[in-house]
Amino acid sequence: MASGRYARVFAVSRSGAVIDGADNRQAEFTDEAQLAALAGEIGAAGPVTLCLVASGLLSDGPDLQPEKTYRSLSLDAFERVFAANTIAPALIAKHMLPLMPKAERSVFAALSARVGSISDNRLGGWHAYRASKAALNMLIRNFAIEQARRAPANICVGLNPGTVDTGLSKAFQGGVPGDKLFTPQQSAGYLLGVIDSLKAEDSGKCFDWAGQEVPA
Ligand SMILES: NC(=O)c1ccc[n+]([C@@H]2O[C@H](COP(=O)([O-])OP(=O)(O)OC[C@H]3O[C@@H](n4cnc5c(N)ncnc54)[C@H](OP(=O)(O)O)[C@@H]3O)[C@@H](O)[C@H]2O)c1
């Protein structure tokens, strides 16, 4: 999928996972020296027309679970969830946005989540995750404003992939109708379609897998 749509694809993960058809690289997303080295290599290959940040963290074992109450808040959970969901995409943007062309259309997209919408929040809970995605959405808006001055054809968006059958959502899929539980491939296909359809005026906003804007 990746190599068919784009001339060259770099797939970067902290584990160094291998994706067929991509140039696979390993990096810690909060290590600026590693991101700078990566940007040097990617930039040397040509202008970047799409940067898609698809990493994120909701839970990890008994010590890191989405909080049902503020009584469960912890510094460690906040630090880990914000590092993965907010700080990493922001630092990736810092190193990748300058590689995006000034006049040719390009897209910086980060996977956000509907629960990061403040106006859509009717259930509460999931404090660190919700807050980290709301902060990500704010940064995306900020980057869009800044890029409009530097590289007006660049579009920065948050994308909600829907409920996707991955380790992240496994424990929270109850009540999701079968036709609304997507495979990763299905969701990726929908999101690439949304990315293709984005226009300059969409920059700074968040969209779901169906291309519907998610309110801030
Ligand atoms: N699945 C859903 O239903 C759903 C719904 C809404 C939004 N999202 C969002 O979609 C994105 C992808 O989620 P997913 O379902 O694919 O989750 P996943 O299966 O748990 O995969 C998350 C990926 O993020 C990486 N990651 C986590 N923390 C990281 C860190 N600190 N630095 C670098 N990489 C890190 C993981 O790397 P390792 O393999 O090394 O751990 C893993 O590859 C996330 O941003 C999530 O919030 C997902």
**pLDDT tens track for 123-165:** 999 999 999 999 999 999 999 999 999 999 999 999 999 999 9
- Taking CA atoms only, the protein residue closest to ligand 1 atom 1 is 164
pLDDT at 4: 67
* 6 — pLDDT class (breaks 50, 70, 90): confident
Q: Which atom of ligand 1 is nearest to the CA of 129?
A: 47
Put simply, whether the predicted model's pTM sits higher than 0.95 gets the answer yes
Residues 156, 204: contact at Cβ < 8 Å?
yes
pLDDT at position 36 over 80: yes
Helical H runs in 6-63?
32-44
Read off the DSSP letter of residue 131.
Answer: H
Please give the Cα distance from 160 to 110 (Å, whole number): 9
- Within 6 A (CB) of ligand 1 lie 13-15, 29, 54-57, 83-84, 88, 111, 113, 160-161, 163-164, 166-169
The atom of ligand 1 lying closest to the CA of 172 is: 3
pLDDT(74) > 80: yes
